[in-house]
Structures are given as structure tokens and as C-alpha cells.
Amino acid sequence: MRIAFIGDIVGKPGRSMCSTYLQKIKKEYAIDFIIANYENASHGFGLTVNNANELLACGIDCMSGGNHTWDKKEVEALFDSHEILRPHNYPQGVPGTGCKVYEVAGEKLAVLNLMGHYSMPYTDNAFRCAKSTVEALHAQGIKNIFIDFHAEATSEKRAMMMLLQGEVSGIIGTHTHVGTDDFQISDGTAYLSDIGLSGCRDNVIGMDKKIPLKQFLTGMKGHFDIPKSCKKILQIAIMDLSDGVCSHAFKLKYFDDARVIQTDAWREE
């Protein structure tokens, strides 16, 4: 199977890039299943029902969340009606789930959403949750497992790779909105510390620069806004999986000025 992953979709600019390019990408690269992180999709904070429907209509099959999952209260109803996840390591009793299994190209694919600890809301231990969930999936005969690890610290993301390499098909980090250059395949597991945002590329992590600059210059906080106009980017990782192993992976950057940049994952021998 060939799956794809899009990191933090930030506001209308990110949604518009998905609307413009995603069907084209899906057809051109023969993608069977698309996963995307929604937690910044609605004006930068959370997800509305309308925006969920908009993104799923673009060709996205499953959406994962993070620390802004709960910013729009209407998201709770979506867990029962849409293919939407929230971090799996929230305590028992929290609405929704962070793990779903799908039939893709004749094989089963599990999508697992986890959230880190540094500078994040309170959750159960992400590493223990990951280990026990992966063990349970293996016990069910499910080998193809993809993880969106929504975390601030690259050390946490790298440690998750060390814990699970050879046990899952892919681990890609989200949250920082800044893409890293460490896309690799090690022991059959694709790994990237952060895929980077899809949205405005000429401001501050997808947000208008005015308030961040004011905060850094004066210490005075304000409400972050999505720019009314900006230069945009769509960042997407594509992975070939079979029998639990990632055999090939690459990342595409689509710019709104028609440029496309491809970076292949290197193989760690």
C-alpha cells in the first residue's frame, strides 16, 4: 500500500492548498490512503464541522489531532461521525480514540495518534501507551502501523523511534510547524522528526508575524491570527508499506508558485 501524511494544516491557507493540490497528488502518485493532522485547521486553533467536511472532501481518509484538538467544542461530535482521532494517551473517559484500523489495498493499516509531554497538556505516558497499543495491534495480526507523534521536543520524537523501530511502519512528528531534514528508513520504519506545516510559509509558523514579534520584543502576549494573504506551502510525506515494513519514502513540498521539491528518505543500513 502507498500512504501519505500531511502535518499541521494551518487555517484557510493550509486548507486551500489541500483543495488545490491533493486530488492531483493522490492521482499522480497513486496514493491509497491519506492521513492529515487537523489541530490547527480552523483559523489556527482546533477543527469545526464545516472545515472537517471540507478537508475530508479533498481526499483525506483519516485525520489526527494534538494539543489544540479540544479548542472547538463541536469536535466531540465528530469522533462518532467522522474519521477523526485525538491523541490516544489522553486518560480513559475522554471522548474519541487515538487509534483506528483500516482496510487499505488488501492489507490492514493502523493509524495511531500520540502526544508528547514537554510543554504539552497533561496526558498519560506516551511511551507506555505506544508500546502497549503496538503490542495489542501485533496480537491482532496488524503489522502496518503509522504513528503521528505530536510533540514539541525532538528528543521525545527520536526516543519514540528508538523504542519502536522495527515494530511499526512509520513515525512522523508534528506540532512545531518547522520541517526537519532527518527523513530516513531504519529497520523498516520510516521516521521524520517533524514534517512541517501546510499553510502560510512567509510568517511565523503559519501565523501573522505581528503578535509573535510583539511578544518577543515586549513580553506582551496577544491572539495569534492567520494572515489574510500569504505565500503558501503544502508538505506531504509518501510511504510504501507492505507486511509492516516501509520500503520507500519521500517528501514533497508544493509551493503556490508551482514549484515542487522532492526529498527522498535515506536508508539507515
- What residue type is assigned to position 111 of the chain? V
Q: 235 has which bridge partners?
A: 253
Task: From 147, 103, 145, select the one nearest 243 (Cα to Cα).
Answer: 145
pLDDT for res 39: 96
Give the pairing type, strands 184-186 and 266-268.
parallel
> How confident is the model over 80-93, as a mean pLDDT?
96
CATH number at residue 54: 3.60.21.10
Query: Region 71-75: what's the mean pLDDT?
Result: 93
Q: What does the pLDDT read at residue 221? A: 87
Scored b (16 or more CB within 10 A) or e, 163-183 reads bbbebbbbbbbbbbbebeebb
The pLDDT of residue 35: 98
pLDDT over 70 at 14, yes or no: yes
Tens digit of each residue's pLDDT (9 = 90 or more) over 188-226: 999 999 999 999 999 999 999 999 999 999 999 888 999
In this structure, which amino acid lies at residue 108?
K
Q: Using one digit for the tens of pLDDT, what is the confidence trace for 239-253?
A: 999 999 999 999 999
Q: Which of 68, 82, 175, 177 is catalytic?
A: 68
pLDDT at 71: 94
Mean predicted lDDT score pLDDT of the chain: 96
User: Quick check: 96 pLDDT over 90?
Assistant: yes
Phi-psi region of 217 (alpha: psi -120 to 50; beta: other; left: phi over 0): alpha
Q: What is the mean pLDDT of residues 30-39?
A: 98
Give residue for cell 502526544: 115
Q: Please give the tally of structural domains in the chain.
A: 1
Cell 487555517, located at residue: 11
Residue 230 · residue 12 · CB < 8 Å: no
**pLDDT category, 228, cuts 50, 70, 90?**
confident
Q: How confident is the model at residue 269 (pLDDT cuts 50, 70, 90)?
A: low
Enclosing domain of residue 185: 2-268
Catalytic (active site) residue 68: yes
Between strands 62-64 and 189-192, the pairing is: unpaired
Instruction: Provide the grid cell at 142.
Output: 496488524
Residue 37 near residue 63 (C-beta atoms within 8 A)? yes
**pTM exceeds 0.85, yes or no:** yes
